[in-house]
Structure 1
Amino acid sequence: MTKQSHENDVAFIQALAELLNRNELTEIAVVREYGEDDSLEVRVVKQATVIAAPAPVYAAPAAAPLAAAPAATPAAAAAEADPASLPGAVTSPMVGTAYLSPEPGASAFVKVGDTVKEGQTLMIVEAMKTMNHIPAPHSGTVKRILVEDGMPVEYGSALMIVE
């Protein structure tokens, strides 16, 4: 790669970052083809800062009896809020569409209760017309599948739990 093409690539990436900010996008991905065996794949992601607003408080009618709800532990509440924080969570390495089977009408790669080996394909995430196999990070049992076939997924979102 020449110095000139490197400088052009840097300018291209900077332009993508500016486009991201100017249009209030959180992510942009582009593949730039230079020739048959030469390309540049760029993915620019902006981390959004999320500020949680307090939940509104509603008063129960005076005549309605209050049922005692079981107290949830903070760890259980956090796990319900973010499945990606659960032990054994398999997260998406990219933004795309999740597919549970290799092709429409075929049986799923795995189902709940299946034992999987490290590296075994769990599902496919299609991004930019490329089918990316998602391997099991470790051996274990599929405890939960958190996505549906054909569902869009975000980077870092939990796909399934393998323990």
Structure 2
Amino acid sequence: MTKNTHDADVAFIRALAELLNENDLTELQVKRDYAEDDSLNVRVSRKPPQQIIAPQQMQAAPAQMSAAASAPMQATGAGASDAPADPADHPGAVTSPMVGTIYSQAEPGAPAFISVGQLVAEGDTLLIVEAMKTMNHIPAPRAGTIKRIMVADGDAVEFGAPLVILE
């Protein structure tokens, strides 16, 4: 490997680290092929900040969760009292397909895509997840009613994080 390639690799790794910080990502992995037997495989990661989004969301609803926990869980039925303690385990949970930033509206000042109690049709846009400067619309997997919105506009989310409860 020549010095020019080495300098270019260092600049590339620095650029990846900047992307990591700018987009609040915790990990980024890239493989760069130069020739048949020459490649660069880089994983850049950082320890997430002490304040993580998920615990803040859980603090927002302790009264609802304690009421659900005090009632005995039943194996059948779909009432509010038998909702799972972890929102990601809820059968109506719509989870994030990627790491990114949540947007609840198409542009600043526009109305939000959804609100609690709203009826949505299959394929309606629920939220947008911005990942690497790309806006990814999150569609409703089925028709139903929005029971709970787990994220706020501008929140950072991880892969698999619950976004919305749809029943």
Q: Residues 142, 77 of structure 1: CA spacing in aligned structure 2 closer, same or farther, 3 A cutoff?
A: closer
Q: CA deviation at 1:106?
A: 1.0
Q: CA deviation at 1:139?
A: 0.4
| Alpha-carbon displacement from aligned partner over 1:71-109 (angstroms, at most 9, x marks no partner) | 6549879822x2111011000000000111001111100
1:6-155 pair list within 5 angstroms:
27-28=27-28, 70=70, 73=73, 79-80=84-85, 82-155=86-159
| Alpha-carbon displacement from aligned partner over 1:17-57 (angstroms, at most 9, x marks no partner) | xxxxxxxx96315598xxxxxxxxxx99xxxxxxxxxxxxx
Q: Residues 73, 124 of structure 1: CA spacing in aligned structure 2 closer, same or farther, 3 A cutoff?
A: same
Q: Residues 74, 152 of structure 1: CA spacing in aligned structure 2 closer, same or farther, 3 A cutoff?
A: farther
Query: Where does the alignment leave 5 or more consecutive residues of structure 2 unmatched?
Result: 1-12, 14-24, 33-42, 45-68, 76-80
CA distance in 1, matches of 2:74, 2:31: 43
Higher helix proportion: 2
| Alpha-carbon displacement from aligned partner over 1:114-154 (angstroms, at most 9, x marks no partner) | 11011110010000000000000000000100000000000
Aligned AA (2:112): A
Percent identity for Structure 1 against Structure 2:
64
> Does the residue aligned with 1:79 lie in a helix, a strand or coil?
coil
CA distance in 2, matches of 1:105, 1:129: 20
CA distance in 2, matches of 1:89, 1:100: 17
Q: Residues 140, 77 of structure 1: CA spacing in aligned structure 2 closer, same or farther, 3 A cutoff?
A: closer
Q: Residues 117, 148 of structure 1: CA spacing in aligned structure 2 closer, same or farther, 3 A cutoff?
A: same
Q: Residues 31, 128 of structure 1: CA spacing in aligned structure 2 closer, same or farther, 3 A cutoff?
A: farther
Query: Where does the alignment leave 5 or more consecutive residues of structure 1 unmatched?
Result: 1-15, 17-24, 33-42, 45-68
In the alignment of these two chains, the number of paired residues is 106
Q: Which has the larger radius of gyration?
A: 1
Q: Residues 28, 72 of structure 1: CA spacing in aligned structure 2 closer, same or farther, 3 A cutoff?
A: farther
Query: What's the TM-score once normalised by structure 2's chain length?
Result: 0.54
RMSD: 3.4
CA distance in 2, matches of 1:105, 1:31: 40
Q: Residues 78, 121 of structure 1: CA spacing in aligned structure 2 closer, same or farther, 3 A cutoff?
A: closer
CA distance in 2, matches of 1:31, 1:101: 34
Aligned AA (1:119): G
